[in-house]
Amino acid sequence: MSITGHRHPFKIKYKIAFNNEGRFLGLDIQMWSNAGCTLDVSKRVMEHAVLHMGNSYQFSNLRVHGRVCKTHLSSNTAFRGFGTPQAMLACETIVEHVAAYLKCDPFIIRRLNLFKEGDTTHYGQVLEQWNVPRILNELTKSSDFIHRQNNVEEFNQKNMYRKRGITMMPVIFGIGAPNEFYDQAGALVHVYKDGSVILTHGGIEMGQGLHTKMIGIAAEILSCGVDRIRISETATDKVHNATVTAGSMSSDLNGMAVKHACEQIRQRLDTLIIDSNVNISWEDLVKQAYFARLDLCARGFYPTSNMFNANFKKNQTKHNYFTQGAAVTEVELDVLTGDWHLLRVDILMDVGISLNPYIDIGQIEGGFMQGIGLFTMEELIWGDEKFNKWIPPGELFTRGVDTSLDDVIFRIFLLII
């Protein structure tokens, strides 16, 4: 724990201009990140923070300065979101501050300043397939947001020491790597004469369900059962020069490489199918291919055609696309002790045509809970001779939080395209 990098702590200062109805006119914001003792990927983390600073809102005029700070602490590194959560916390805090100043509902400010289809972001990208307004409309209905807002107000009027809050927030995340050489992937597929399939791709399975998605793609293209496919471990003697598994790109890149490899094999198998054996089983078809001396191995390769492009000097950046969504969160707080409980969560995400809805829903749940942890309890306190004398120098104050089991209403839905 003492030497492992963590998320970057950020310090953020801002000046905001807005009119009497709450429409944003301009934002000047400065961000400093604590990189630790080495640079690591701190530059990229700050770049993502700068790009996602505005979240889903049109600020009309926006100036962002990001600075990476070298300190005497252990080197911090990339984690889920890659600087985006820190920037969006600042952005949503600004929304709350504006709403408090104008004494109005923050949701009104959010809707008023929301991007529209065809708007241009502060980094020069024109928004296409912009579904956040639709997501907010559908989530407002499915979560019963307005009725629950009224219930929260009624609860707070009746209770002095326990208060509730409910909010709806949009979120977007731009997909794409900062350099085009990242946008490539390879795969290797072997089909054996008994019908079994060995699939190797360049992605790393770290619990995000990547292998399961790749098996699903292969089964769909080859027209065989998922039980016939096994994943071989990722290795450079199978798939060389693999791209880093990061940035929510792994399914896109490796999935297309797997698709390319399986399509080659399927095309060879289709040459054996005639009217008399159109309903032939997978195993029998593979046997015929073996006896016909067809190559049942193929290598797939995919360089994405719609590449992320970032030119910070010209203020021009283009993501491949955006993952879009929104969440309604209701919490209860003890105003005397600060103890809080998560009562209910409703999330609606646009993930396109999902490769595996169960995996995507699980990832959404996990991402939300990691955000809860980041913003409510994950502050690293270090031993220091000047400020924290009761902790040995270089040691962390705590070793982690305990696990818990709470009955929380967690409703996750995917936008139907």
**Tens digit of pLDDT for each residue in 266-307?**
999 999 988 767 789 999 999 999 999 999 999 999 998 766
Q: What share of the chain is helix, strand, coil (3-state, %, to 5)?
A: 30, 25, 40
Report the distance separating Cα 10 and Cα 371, nearest Å. 15
Q: What percent of the chain has pLDDT over 70?
A: 93
Report the distance separating Cα 345 and Cα 407, nearest Å. 12
Number of H helices, E strands in the chain: 9, 13
Ordered DSSP codes for 101-149: HHTS-HHHHHHHTB--TT-B-TTSPBP-S--HHHHHHHHHHHTTHHHHH
| pLDDT confidence tier of residue 155, bands split at 50, 70 and 90 | very high
Report the distance separating Cα 397 and Cα 274, nearest Å. 70
The residue behind tokens 């270089």 is 394
- Residue 1 pLDDT exceeds 60: no
pLDDT of residue 402: 63
Overall average pLDDT of the 149-172 stretch: 97
The ranges of the chain annotated as CATH 3.30.365.10 are: 1-114, 119-176+312-417, 180-307
- Residue 395 pLDDT exceeds 90: no
Q: Can you read off the two tokens belonging to residue 254?
A: 């490796």
| pLDDT per position as a tens digit, 69-90 | 999 888 999 889 999 999 999 9
- Which of 252-266, 367-381, 397-411: highest mean pLDDT? 252-266
E strands, 159-282, are 162-175, 184-191, 197-201, 229-231
Nearest to 175 by CA among 323, 313, 300, 289: 323
Query: What three-state secondary structure class fits 388?
Result: strand
User: Which ranges of 301-410 does DSSP label H, i.e. alpha helix?
Assistant: 357-376
pLDDT of residue 209: 95
pLDDT of residue 73: 84
pLDDT of residue 46: 95
Residue 342 near residue 406, CB atoms below 8 Å? yes
Residue 229 near residue 197, CB atoms below 8 Å? yes
Core vs surface per residue 132-150: b (16+ CB within 10 A) or e: bbebbebbbeebebeebbe
Q: How many CA atoms lie within 13 A of 21 on its CB side?
A: 4
Overall average pLDDT of the 199-222 stretch: 96
Q: Which CATH class is domain 180-307?
A: alpha beta
Q: Can you read off the two tokens belonging to residue 11?
A: 């310090």
Please write down the HEC assignment for all residues of 146-193.
HHHHHHHHHHHHHCCCEEEEEEEEEEEEEECCCCHHHCEEEEEEEECC
CATH classification of 119-176+312-417 is 3.30.365.10, yes or no?
A: yes
pLDDT of residue 399: 65
Helices 42-51 & 84-102, crossing angle to 10 degrees?
A: 30
- Residue 401 pLDDT exceeds 80: no
- Residue 91 pLDDT exceeds 80: yes
**Mean pLDDT, the chain, integer:** 92
Q: Can you read off the two tokens belonging to residue 198?
A: 């060995």
| 65-74, 129-138, 332-341, 377-386, range with the lowest pLDDT | 377-386
The DSSP call for residue 384 is B
Residue 168 near residue 110, CB atoms below 8 Å? yes
| 225-239, 242-256, 393-407, range with the lowest pLDDT | 393-407
Residue 354 near residue 212, CB atoms below 8 Å? no
- Which helix (DSSP H) or strand (DSSP E) does residue 295 occupy? none
pLDDT of residue 309: 66
Overall average pLDDT of the 100-113 stretch: 97
| pLDDT confidence tier of residue 405, bands split at 50, 70 and 90 | low
More confident residue, 221 or 275: 221
| pLDDT confidence tier of residue 128, bands split at 50, 70 and 90 | very high
Report the distance separating Cα 313 and Cα 347, nearest Å. 36
Neighbours of 288 (CB within 10 A): 16
- Residue 308 pLDDT exceeds 80: no
- Residue 255 pLDDT exceeds 80: yes
Could you tell me the fold of the domain covering 1-114? Aldehyde Oxidoreductase; domain 4 (3.30.365)
Overall average pLDDT of the 383-407 stretch: 70
